[in-house]
A = this chain, B = another copy of it.
Amino acid sequence: MRSAAGDGFLAVDSGGSGLRVVVGTPDGGTTAPRESRVPVRTGPRGIDPGHLMEQLVPLVRASQPEAGVSGIGTAVVGAAGFASLGDGLRAELPGALEREFGVRTVALVADAVTAYIGALGPRPGAVVAAGTGLVAIGTDLKSWRRADGWGHLLGDCGGGAWIGRAGLEAALRAHDGRPGGSSALLTRAEEAFGPVRELPGRLYPRTDRPAVLASFAPHVAACAESDPVAGGILREAARHMADSAAAVCPAEGEAHVSLTGGLFAMGAALLVPLEEELERRLPHARRVPAAGGPLEGSVQIATELARGALTLPGDEAMVYVVTPKRG
């Protein structure tokens, strides 16, 4: 016989650079985040639930004693790519979480939603979430709108992989003697990856290609002030971000705009052109700093869910909730 579901929750943020977890209680206490730096694999059925669990279990086991919870009744998993690659998670994760931890209530949530709630909480507006990838999400508190977040081959325009990829392309243009090249970025690329002739062999066989590309983005930022090609890449990234924000922000009424995600640690080289673009595209929206990140958003959603009071706009592709069967 299983014991009654505990009052604790676990809140997860699964992104392009790995998995972060806290265990908490609805009264507001949480453990310090624990982290796996391995991005969850994508397989034939989308995001791989087995690989996610493999990383999640030891992190949760390590967090549980510190959390002092009787058990974990609620889990919220915010996952990058969930809206389009979430079929495997929907099918298997609730069952796996129940078997492993006795979890009864599960919410699988697009990372865009955890990012939004973490940044703005339940206020209307738009959030640009940018790390390895990039997605903009907006709400008028009745429904969600999403822009981009299509991954490194189809979009994520302006995100870390996009910037790093553009920087590496500029490095290789310089190597080849094609226009649009940057010898500063070529020097950086060789420092970071070795001789560029070997770069395809180092990049393509890897399964974390977007993260490898994104690892070059800080080099682009470092060159941006002195190198016009690098500066141009960041200005174009800023335009793409503002395009996405404008596509999802409520056009009327009160609107807040916030930026969240590791990419913005890049600083002025990105933020100065971005503020200009946002001012131009969304003059009616009030710029506010993000209160927290997607993990904090996941915690807020888990707290509401554990209290039985989820207030998010419903949208099956973005917020998938499995509650215990009654009877």
Residue in B42, B147, B179, B180 whose CB lies within 8 Å of A178: B147
Residue in B81, B203, B213, B244 whose CB lies within 8 Å of A176: B244
Interface residues as binary, A176-197 with B (CB distance below 8 Å gives 1, 0 otherwise): 1111100000000000000001
B-contacting residues, A139-168, CB 8 Å: 146-148, 150-155, 157, 165, 168
Q: Which residues of B contact A201 (CB under 8 A)?
A: 46, 84-85, 87
The answer to the question of A43 belonging to the interface, with a C-beta cut-off of 8 Å to chain B, is yes
Residue in B165, B180, B243 whose CB lies within 8 Å of A154: B165
How many copies of the shown chain assemble into the complex? 2
Q: Min CB distance, A157 to chain B, in Å?
A: 7
CA distance A209 to B209 in the complex (A): 13
- The tally of residues in A whose CB lies under 8 Å from a CB in B reads 45
B-contacting residues, A79-136, CB 8 Å: 81, 83-85, 87
Q: Min CB distance, A220 to chain B, in Å?
A: 14
Interface residue ranges, A against B (CB under 8 Å):
42-46, 81, 83-85, 87, 146-148, 150-155, 157, 165, 168-169, 172-173, 176-180, 197-201, 203-205, 209, 213, 243-244, 246-247, 317
Query: Can you sample 29 A-B contacts with CB below 8 Å?
Result: A43-B205, A44-B205, A46-B201, A83-B197, A84-B197, A84-B199, A84-B201, A87-B201, A148-B176, A148-B178, A151-B203, A151-B204, A153-B165, A153-B203, A153-B204, A153-B209, A153-B213, A154-B168, A154-B169, A154-B172, A154-B199, A155-B169, A155-B173, A157-B169, A176-B244, A176-B247, A178-B243, A179-B243, A180-B243
